[in-house]
């Protein structure tokens, strides 16, 4: 009996000292836009291909809601909220009407929960958008709606102006209020239009209780950056189920520290240094690979710190460096990390 009490006290003390969060596991978030054959190919998947994805998920994964994933990986999570080993979340951006027409009937067959990030001021206004009536109908069938800003502007536009942060936060807050008014729900989840954000915006949103979502790739766990969580695009060139399988099984790279938290660059200065400090307890240094434009990078290590600086000036627009490493304990699964970089044009515009 005494031994038992001693053990409990010791364990409690130990986990407090170690600051250990329960190991709740990992989840992967998929991002779709159009499910249609007559929309822009880069952001579209055909209904047939989409049906294949859903059938594959039903057979091989556990589809959970975005809310469940966020609760499990939050700082307050307990061991009880452990994720299934193969958790996947389905999201859509932009609120196109083809989600209701083409995607929803397929998803409904499986009863999967999913989330649509919408621009409230475009709903029922722009062609091919959902109407508020459709939004409410989908919601009554278990679909969640979240914030994609009011009108889908490039949020980094004017970020050199003094009122930019205040105005951008006001735009997101306005969209959130409209979501609350129309759907009764305010999740405080923001998907950045075009996946573009900077350090100031993601930090300010976290302070206001929001969780941010980007368009860089990777899995999500307790060690992720909740100001800009990764999602895997699953349409266009990424719709191929064979390449998607590896991503669906990916794990969040345990990054302890990141030397450069500012993904926004300037036209004049666009060769950013980036050093990641990794927890190497379940991966081998020599098996960590990073890729830029499809090419494997030569990596310089210093203990558990790896330099992933791109050896050239980045182009205008969005670039990414992706790093992967096989897990030692989970055979066939890869840790995944993606670093997005954003460069404006010489005149300060952010291209689509
Ligand atoms: Zn969008």
Provide the token pair at 347.
């005149």
Q: b/e map of 107-132 (b: 16 or more CB within 10 Å)? A: beeeebbbbbbbbbbbbbeeeebbeb
pLDDT score for 177: 98
Residue stretches of the chain with pLDDT short of 70: 1-21
CA of 93 to the centre of ligand 1 (A): 5
Measure Cα distances from 168 to 155, 157, 195, 243 in Å. 7, 10, 15, 36
Say which CATH class 4-16+257-343 falls into. mainly beta
Q: What is the pLDDT of residue 184?
A: 97
Rounded distance from Cα 145 to ligand 1 centre (Å): 14
Name the DSSP letter for residue 276: E
Give the pLDDT score at 250: 98
Ligand 1 centroid, distance to 191 Cα (angstroms): 8
Distance separating alpha carbons of residues 98 and 127, to the nearest angstrom: 11
**Cα(148)–Cα(172) distance, integer angstroms:** 8
Interval between CA 276 and ligand 1 midpoint (Å): 29
Query: Which pLDDT belongs to residue 20?
Result: 54
> What is the CA(63)–ligand 1 centre distance, in A?
22
Task: Find the 147 Cα to ligand 1 centroid distance in Å.
Answer: 10
Taking the centre of ligand 1 as the mean of its atom positions, its distance from the CA of residue 122, in whole angstroms, is 12
61-79: pLDDT as tens digits:
999 999 999 999 998 888 8
Structure-token pair, residue 200 = 């100031």
Nearest residue to 344 (alpha-carbon basis) of 258, 277, 265: 265
Neighbours of 272 (CB within 10 A): 17
In the reported structure, the alpha carbon of residue 170 is separated from the centroid of ligand 1 by a whole-number distance in angstroms of: 19
Residue 154 CA to ligand 1 center (angstroms) comes to 10
Q: Separation of 192 CA from ligand 1 center, angstroms?
A: 7
CA of 206 to the centre of ligand 1 (A): 20
What's the 289 CA to ligand 1 centre distance in angstroms? 30
- pTM score, two decimals? 0.93
Spell out where the chain has E strands: 27-32, 34-35, 44-45, 62-63, 87-93, 114-118, 143-147, 189-191, 211-213, 219-220, 232-233, 251-252, 255-258, 275-278, 289-292, 295-296, 300-302, 305-307, 317-326, 334-343
Residue 18: what pLDDT? 42
Q: How far is the CA of 94 from the centre of ligand 1 (A)?
A: 5
Do 94 and 117 touch, CB atoms closer than 8 A?
Answer: yes
Domain at 23-250, CATH homologous superfamily: Glycoside hydrolase/deacetylase (3.20.20.370)
Interatomic CA distance for residues 202 and 204, integer angstroms: 6
Measured CA to CA in angstroms, residue 199 lies from 59, 92, 217, 339 at distances of 39, 24, 18, 13
Q: Quote the ligand 1 centre to 167 CA distance (angstroms).
A: 19
Please state, in angstroms and rounded to a whole number, the distance separating the CA atoms of residues 182 and 127. Answer: 19
Of 249, 142, 156, 245, nearest in space to 195 by CA: 156
Q: What is the torsional sign of CA 247, 83, 23, 81?
A: positive
Q: How far is the CA of 195 from the centre of ligand 1 (A)?
A: 8
Ligand 1 centroid – CA 149 distance (Å)? 9
Domain ranges of the chain: 4-16+257-343, 23-250
Region of 348 please: left (phi>0), alpha (psi -120 to 50) or beta.
left
């Amino acid at each position: 009996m005494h031994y038992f009490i001693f053990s409990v006290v010791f364990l409690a003390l130990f986990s407090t000292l170690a600051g250990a969060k329960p190991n709740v596991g990992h989840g992967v978030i998929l991002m779709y836009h159009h499910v249609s054959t007559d929309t822009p190919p880069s952001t579209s998947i055909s209904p047939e291909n989409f049906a294949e994805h859903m059938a594959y998920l039903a057979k091989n994964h556990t589809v959970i809601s975005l809310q469940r994933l966020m609760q499990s990986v939050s700082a307050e999570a307990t061991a009880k909220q452990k994720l299934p080993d193969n958790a996947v979340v389905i999201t859509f951006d932009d609120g196109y009407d083809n989600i209701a027409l083409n995607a929803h009937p397929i998803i409904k067959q499986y009863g999967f929960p999913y989330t649509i990030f919408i621009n409230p001021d475009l709903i029922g206004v722009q062609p091919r958008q959902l109407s508020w009536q459709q939004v409410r109908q989908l919601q009554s069938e278990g679909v969640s709606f979240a914030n994609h800003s009011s009108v889908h502007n490039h949020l980094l536009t004017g970020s050199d102006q003094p009122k930019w942060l205040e105005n951008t936060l006001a735009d997101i807050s306005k969209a959130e209020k409209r979501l609350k008014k129309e759907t009764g729900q305010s999740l405080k989840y923001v998907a950045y239009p075009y996946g573009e954000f900077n350090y100031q915006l993601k930090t300010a949103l976290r302070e206001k209780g929001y969780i941010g979502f980007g368009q860089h790739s990777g899995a999500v766990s307790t060690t992720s950056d909740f100001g800009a969580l990764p999602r895997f695009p699953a349409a266009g060139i990424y719709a191929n189920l064979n390449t998607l399988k590896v991503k669906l099984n990916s794990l969040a790279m345990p990054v302890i520290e990141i030397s450069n938290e500012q993904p926004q660059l300037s036209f004049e200065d666009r060769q950013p240094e980036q050093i990641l400090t990794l927890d190497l307890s379940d991966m081998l240094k020599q098996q960590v690979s990073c890729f830029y434009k499809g090419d494997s990078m030569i990596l310089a290590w210093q203990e558990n710190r790896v330099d992933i600086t791109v050896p050239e000036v980045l182009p205008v627009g969005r670039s990414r460096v992706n790093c992967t490493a096989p897990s030692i304990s989970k055979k066939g699964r890869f840790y995944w990390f993606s670093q997005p970089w954003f460069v404006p044009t010489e005149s300060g515009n952010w291209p689509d």
